[in-house]
Amino acid sequence: MAAMATDTKPSAPVPAGRSAPNSWGMGDGQAIPWEYAPAPESREIVTIRERYGLMIGGREMPASDGATFTTLNPATEEPLAEIARATEADVDTAVRAARQAQSKSWGKLPGRERAKYLFRIARLLQERTREFAVLESIDSGKPIKESRDVDVPLAAAHFWYYAGWADKLDYAFPGRVAKPLGVAAQVIPWNFPLLMLAWKIAPALAAGNTVVLKPASTTPLSALLFAELCREADLPPGVVNIITGPGEIGMALVTHPDVDKVAFTGSTAVGRRIAQGIAGQGKALTLELGGKAANIVFDDAPLDQAVEGIVNGIYFNQGEVCCAGSRLLVQESIADLLIAKLKDRLATIRVGDPLDKNTDVGAINSRAQLDKITELVAAGVAEGAELYQPACDLPERGYFFRPTLFTNVAQSYRIAREEIFGPVLSTITFRTPEEAIEKANNTPYGLSAGIWTDKGSRILMMVKRMRAGVVWANTFNKFDPTSPFGGYKESGYGREGGLHGLQAYVRLEDR
Ligand code: NDP
């Protein structure tokens, strides 16, 4: 790592009695210090218990063998709570509870009644937004302004949206009758714990299915609070079951013989294992896996706007985003100017306490993920890419990583090929639109892409030729519950969100 050059030279002296600010907030040669006062969100609104059990059949219970594991605060490395570590017997109990609820209560309710519960959940989520946001930031490391303004509102929006479909299934698929699949097994990752839960549970319930969901082991708390919210909403017991435990418990869940539908979001490696594990079992399957998105900037793009889109594309949620714009493809004629603007902008990014409302980049979710990012960044340097990191003090404890920008990247480098899942951007240049398309599609993934240009016709031409499930034009990372999301190639298959997301939870029969 000795080869890494960091811009540690502030452009004005530090005022007496104050420590050096994270950044001067201005480009090189400008001397206005730019510091934000601390603005910490209070933790008081959240009660984190010492222990949490499994949430099965509307009841909380310990694991059948009493085993637990610990969830940490990645910003401080402090233990937060002991979580029940489910056994295979617990998986079986949860699937049975879900089956019973599906056949005896939930599956028999008319759509308009199911809708009432979903509306109630949406409203309760909105009422408890601050509580969920603070809890999510503490457990995952994401900045409070993102959990407060993106994760929780979007999670609620998914429940509002799918509540609207619950009594309209007869009109959703013209000429066909939509029937629930039965019991859904859902395994979700740690980058958007509550939001991924909402993406999966809302359409499943709207269509009349019941669910058993396993959150990631580093971020179980928001799913467990959600289980409490389901009780507050008087959801019939067994409709939503939350089991916690390691990957092998996720595998036991998805391969359970009485599961009808499997939905997974996470790494391509695990997605592949799940597809192999359930092959031949006749289960419906959707996989939302990794990505290595190209964010393509043409020479006629509004550059300042593009810089904001690039920053949002890769540094949002510490870059721990499957659709992150992790490859910047920039037209050669504007590359120097764009990189200079980007470096100026990076100097203003604030890294630190996730609960501070001014924080832009919070903590990396786990030690393992921090190690992976560190290893890939070192590989980038070793392979010959040029590294830039803005000057910023990182907290002494916790899993933090500086926003990182690589230039001089060849397509063969690991940082251009592998999903880093961290705040690391790799820049590649191109000369013609044809070359941009070829380079953008030169990846085993196909989840998302961004295009920045003034020309509508070029956007349409590019969109047609990009092998990516979502293509944003002159913006990035925009999500809406009405809009389907999903990938091509090793980014998985099936869609979540919108009518497509509902279809993944129904069996269509002829009228
Ligand atoms: P995983 O794919 O391992 O984890 C995602 C979820 O799957 C977690 O709930 C995990 O449980 C569970 N799981 C793990 N192994 C199995 C298994 N064999 N069968 C069933 N479920 C399983 O992601 P990681 O946390 O290991 O992250 C590794 C890399 O994956 C990241 O660096 C990133 O590149 C990518 N990733 C991509 C995501 C995306 O949204 N596309 C999300 C997360 C990661 P547990 O937490 O208990 O291990």
| CA 187 to ligand 1 centroid distance, Å | 9
Coil, strand or helix at 409: coil
**Which atom, in ligand 1's list, is nearest to the CA of 270?**
2
Q: Which of 55, 365, 87, 60 is nearest to 217 (CA)?
A: 365
User: Distance between CA 60 and CA 224 in Å, rounded?
Assistant: 10
**Atom 26, ligand 1: which residue's CA is nearest?**
267
| Residue closest by Cα to atom 17 of ligand 1 | 247
- Ligand 1 atom 15 nearest Cα: 247
In ligand 1, which atom is closest to the CA atom of 214?
A: 9
> 100 in the Ramachandran plot: left (φ > 0), alpha (ψ -120 to 50) or beta?
alpha
> HSE (CB half, 13 Å, CA atoms) of 451?
23
Q: 186 by DSSP, 3-state: which? A: strand
Pocket test of ligand 1: the residue of 218, 270, 376, 424 to mutate, having most ligand atoms within 8 Å of its CB, is 270
Cα 269 to middle of ligand 1, angstroms? 8
What's the mean pLDDT when you consider all of the chain? 94
pLDDT tens column, 462-499? 999 999 999 999 999 999 999 999 999 999 999 999 99
Question: Does the pLDDT at position 247 exceed 80?
Answer: yes
pLDDT tens column, 417-464: 999 999 999 999 999 999 999 999 999 999 999 999 999 999 999 999
- 56 Cα: distance to centroid of ligand 1 (angstroms): 23
Burial 118-147 (b: 16+ CB within 10 A, else e): bbbbbebbbebbbbbbbbbbbbbbbbbbbb
Helices 129-140/152-166 angle, 10° precision: 120
Q: Give dist(CA 475, CA 360) in Å, integer.
A: 18
User: Which band of pLDDT confidence, cut at 50, 70 and 90, is reported for residue 392?
Assistant: confident
From the CA of 179, how far away is ligand 1's center (Å)? 30
- Running DSSP on this structure, what letter comes out for residue 150? I
Torsion of CA 239, 240, 241, 244, to 10 degrees: 170
Measured CA to CA in angstroms, residue 310 lies from 128, 143, 326, 409, 449 at distances of 32, 18, 9, 17, 11
Write the residue with the smallest CA distance to atom 28 of ligand 1.
267
Q: For residue 269, which atom of ligand 1 is closest to its CA?
A: 2
HEC string of 60-81 equals EECCCCCCEEEEEECCCCEEEE
Q: Are 398 and 77 in contact (CB under 8 A)?
A: yes
User: In a 3-state reduction of DSSP, which class is residue 229?
Assistant: helix
pTM of the model: 0.94
pLDDT confidence bin for 1, thresholds 50/70/90: very low
If DSSP codes are grouped into helix, strand and coil, which group holds residue 510? strand
Q: Buried b vs exposed e over 152-190: b needs ≥16 C-beta within 10 Å?
A: bebbbbbbbbbbebbbebeebeeebebebbbbbbbbbbb
Nearest Cα residue to atom 8 of ligand 1: 216
Question: What is the band of 28 on the pLDDT scale with cuts at 50, 70, 90?
Answer: low
C-alpha 247 to ligand 1 mean position (Å):
8
State both tokens at 128: 């408890």
Please tell me the distance from the alpha carbon of residue 338 to that of residue 348, in angstroms, as a whole number: 16
Confidence of residue 35 (pLDDT cuts 50, 70, 90): confident
Give the residue numbers marked as catalytic.
288, 322
Return the sign of the alpha-carbon dihedral for residues 422, 419, 470, 440. Answer: positive
Distance CA 302, CA 117 (A): 45
pLDDT reading at 17 higher than 70: no
What is the position in ligand 1's atom list of the atom closest to the CA of 365? 25
Ligand 1 atom index nearest CA of 246: 47
Q: In this predicted model, what pLDDT tens digit does every residue of 209-228 receive, in sequence order?
A: 999 999 999 999 999 999 99
For residue 270, report the distance from its CA to the centre of ligand 1, in Å: 6
Strand, coil or helix: 124: helix
Relative to beta strand 492-493, strand 284-288 is antiparallel
Percent of the chain residues past pLDDT 70, beyond the cut: 93
Give the residue, by CA position, lying nearest to ligand 1 atom 35.
Answer: 267
- Distance from the CA of 362 to the center of ligand 1, in angstroms? 20
The protein residue with its alpha carbon nearest to ligand 1, atom 22, reads 247
Pocket of ligand 1 (CB under 6 A): 187-191, 214, 216-217, 246-247, 250-251, 254, 265-267, 270, 273-274, 289-290, 322, 369, 372, 419, 421
Q: What share of the chain is helix, strand, coil (3-state, %, to 5)?
A: 40, 20, 40
Coil, helix or strand for 185?
strand
Residue 377 CA, ligand 1 centroid: distance in Å:
21
The rounded distance, in Å, linking the Cα atoms of 205 and 398 is 37
Nearest atom of ligand 1 to the alpha carbon of 366:
25
Atom 36, ligand 1: residue with shortest CA distance:
267
Do the Cβ atoms of 504 and 458 come closer than 8 Å?
A: no
pLDDT band (50, 70, 90) for residue 36: confident
Measured in Å, residue 411 CA sits from the centre of ligand 1 at 26
Distance CA 328, CA 425 (A): 7
Least confident of 4-13, 229-238, 362-371: 4-13
The answer to whether 257 touches 235, Cβ cutoff 8 Å, is no
Output the 3-class SS for 455-501.
Answer: CHHHHHHHHHHCCCCEEEECCCCCCCCCCCECCCHHHEECCECHHHH
Which residue puts its alpha carbon closest to atom 38 of ligand 1? 266
Token pair listed for 90: 């617990």
Residue of 222, 267, 365 best suited for mutating to test ligand 1, as the one with most atoms within 8 Å of CB:
267
Contact 183, 99 (CB under 8 A): yes
Q: How confident is the model at residue 81 (pLDDT cuts 50, 70, 90)?
A: very high
Do the Cβ atoms of 486 and 323 come closer than 8 Å?
Answer: no
